[in-house]
Structure 1
Amino acid sequence: MTLEELKSGTFVVGMKETERAIEKQEAACVFIASDCDERISRPLMEACQSSGIPVEQGFTKKEIGRACGIKVKAASAALLTSR
């Protein structure tokens, strides 16, 4: 998954929104920033593993925020499944 796919798709931004998307099984792929604190990223990684959702970690908080069209950094984002 690339940031271009995130930009062009339907997504949610931020830890809480990403957690909700995982819980509701609406996330197709989760982006977790490589410079995110482990205490934040670990629970998301575990939730993705148990739900079988792929995770991308090759991007910074700044890159994810920019891809989502927000002016602040984002620790995570989820690309949503199309229904």
Structure 2
Amino acid sequence: MLATLQKTKAKVIGAKQTTRALNLDKVACCFVALDAQEHVTEPIRRLCEKRHVEIIEVPSMKELGVACGIDVGAAVAAILIEEHTA
């Protein structure tokens, strides 16, 4: 699944952007780093459960950051539902 996160352009990185996307029902799946601070990840986990969004756990923030194509760690990231326009 991390390979999908690496390849897609339709993603958000970080707690604020992920929360915003979840509230707009635009998240296909959510990635959470296991070594991230719980006060950051727990609200995201609850929102994912409420919205029935799959949570994929990643061993470390560094690994999630690399998968997102950034040079720093990331606590959370999400793949967005792609909107098709006709």
Deviations 1:33-55 (A, max 9, x none): 01011111111100000000000
TM-score, normalising length from structure 1? 0.94
Structure 2 gap ranges (5+): none
Equivalent residue of 1:57, what SS? Answer: strand
CA displacement at 1:82 relative to structure 2:
1.2
The equivalent of 2:18 in structure 1 is 18
The TM-score normalised by the length of structure 2 is 0.90
Larger gyration radius, structure 1 or structure 2 = 2
How do 1:50-61 and structure 2 match up within 5 A?
Answer: 50-61=50-61
Displaced runs of 4 or more, over 4 A: none
Q: Which segments of 5 or more consecutive residues in structure 1 lack a partner in the other structure?
A: none
Residue 7 (structure 1) aligned with residue 6 (structure 2): yes
**In structure 2, C-alpha distance between the alignment counterparts of 1:79 and 1:60, rounded to whole Å:** 18
1:11-69 CA-partner distances (Å, limit 9, x unpaired) = 01011001011001111000010101111111110000000000011331001101111
Q: How many residues align?
A: 82
Q: Taking every aligned residue pair, what percent have the same amino acid on both sides?
A: 35
